[in-house]
Amino acid sequence: MQTPIAIPTLDEIRDARAQLGDAVVTTPIRLLQDDAVDAAVGAATTLWLKEELFQRTGSFKPRGALTVMQRLAPAVLRRGVAGVSAGNHAIALAYAARRLGTTATVVMPRSANPFRVARCRALGARVELVDHIAQAFERVEALQADEGRTIVHPYEGPLTALGTATVGLEFVEQVAAAGHALDAVLVAAGGGGLTGGVACAVRLASPSTQVFVVEPEGADTMYRSFRSGQVESIDAVRTIADSLGAPRTAPYSLALNRRFVQEVVLVSDDQIRAAMRLLFGSAKLVTEPAGAAALAALMYPLRERLDGQRVGVVVCGGNVDAGTFGECLREPADVADAPTGSAVAR
């Protein structure tokens, strides 16, 4: 039996989007059609993209960070915020702090991509680098104690989900405005903040639409949590999709995902690379690996299951440097066509 949780309503999601205002943009959708797409997902399948990589800062992350920070008391907000991230959340936190007139300190592992570290600094954040992620969490707790900063979690909590839910509601309403509907929505998970919010909004706005969560094989915390029915963690992240590398799930986001998500499926790094190539070739999109993971699921483990359906794919981010992007586009020796795993909520 699932634990009762606070679930955003459609009115609350619309109000949250209104409060975000022009601090975020309503990202475009696209009906993607050409011969390469037909070959990759099936000619009878209709593919819609929600291009959240064109969001301010290059990913969906400002929606959640701003939704949390806009609701802080003025005196609390003035003391600043802090967060732990290897990339997109850190960039979003820097942007949100500047937008709201406060300061941000982000603690990042030394292994973080220099491109993302530079983006944080360019947006005015103070960046502290540590050797291990465990040290990062210790340091951010010290910042809270010593400087009075508010820790903004990258994916956990009702307000974060309320912010990310605006992605899902926009997607459904934009497709409807174009005279169409979606049978399924695919969205990639790190810790589950985006997927929980999107799934909630989509299922409330369009109850017949199924939502599938996608994870890399090497960062499968949500998959493990769906199988066990409880919060799970992994000892290391082993995937090119580093933005999806959450070391553990968290109680609220897991419960929200279990309430609204149909299933969690896994994709390999080579399948993600193939999806990046398709997005680049057919949509002319430069995505980070995480941004292509959801499409990879449609191309491989979910292709037969969703054949002939109207499928929406959230392209969640595009923060990638040229060198990493070029390396990811290299043709692999082989891309396995077989599904790599799936899990339903327990």
Q: Is a pLDDT exceeding 80 seen at residue 345? A: no
- Reported as a pLDDT band with limits 50, 70 and 90, residue 2 is low
Q: What is the mean pLDDT of residues 262-283?
A: 98
Q: CA separation (Å) from 2 to 214, 252, 258?
A: 21, 11, 8
Q: What is the mean pLDDT of residues 71-97?
A: 96
Largest Cα–Cα distance in the chain? 58
Domains and CATH numbers, the chain: 10-59+158-343 (3.40.50.1100), 61-151 (3.40.50.1100)
The number of beta carbons lying within 10 Å of the beta carbon of residue 132 is 11
Q: What is the pLDDT of residues 144-153, one digit of tens each?
A: 999 999 999 9
Closest listed residue to residue 107, CA positions, set 60, 152, 163: 152
pLDDT at residue 240, rounded to an integer: 94
Cα separation, 206 vs 313, in Å, equals 15
CA neighbours closer than 13 Å in the CB half-sphere of residue 339: 12
Phi, psi of 187 (to 5 degrees): -145, 140
CA neighbours closer than 13 Å in the CB half-sphere of residue 295: 34
Q: What is the mean pLDDT of residues 198-213?
A: 98
High-pLDDT (> 90) share of the chain, %: 87
The residue to which tokens 């955003």 are assigned: 8
pLDDT at residue 3, rounded to an integer: 63
Radius of gyration of the chain (CA): 19
Higher per-residue pLDDT: 107 or 343: 107
Q: What is the mean pLDDT of residues 275-301?
A: 98
Q: Is a pLDDT exceeding 60 seen at residue 338? A: no
Would strands 263-267 and 342-343 be described as parallel, antiparallel, or unpaired?
antiparallel
Q: Is a pLDDT exceeding 80 seen at residue 276? A: yes
- Reported as a pLDDT band with limits 50, 70 and 90, residue 335 is low
User: Do the Cβ atoms of 192 and 222 come closer than 8 Å?
Assistant: yes
DSSP letter at 121?
A: H
pLDDT at residue 134, rounded to an integer: 73
CB-based burial of residue 236 (10 Å sphere; 0-12 exposed, 13-18 middle, 19+ buried)? exposed
pLDDT at residue 123, rounded to an integer: 97
Q: What is the pLDDT of residues 5-46, one digit of tens each?
A: 899 999 999 999 999 999 999 999 999 999 999 999 999 999
Residue 231 amino acid letter: V
Helix (H, G, I), strand (E, B) or coil at 29: strand
- Reported as a pLDDT band with limits 50, 70 and 90, residue 339 is very low
Across the chain, what does the average pLDDT equal?
94
Cα separation, 233 vs 198, in Å, equals 22
Helix (H, G, I), strand (E, B) or coil at 17: helix
User: Do the Cβ atoms of 265 and 212 come closer than 8 Å?
Assistant: yes
pLDDT at residue 225, rounded to an integer: 97
pLDDT at residue 202, rounded to an integer: 98
- Reported as a pLDDT band with limits 50, 70 and 90, residue 236 is confident
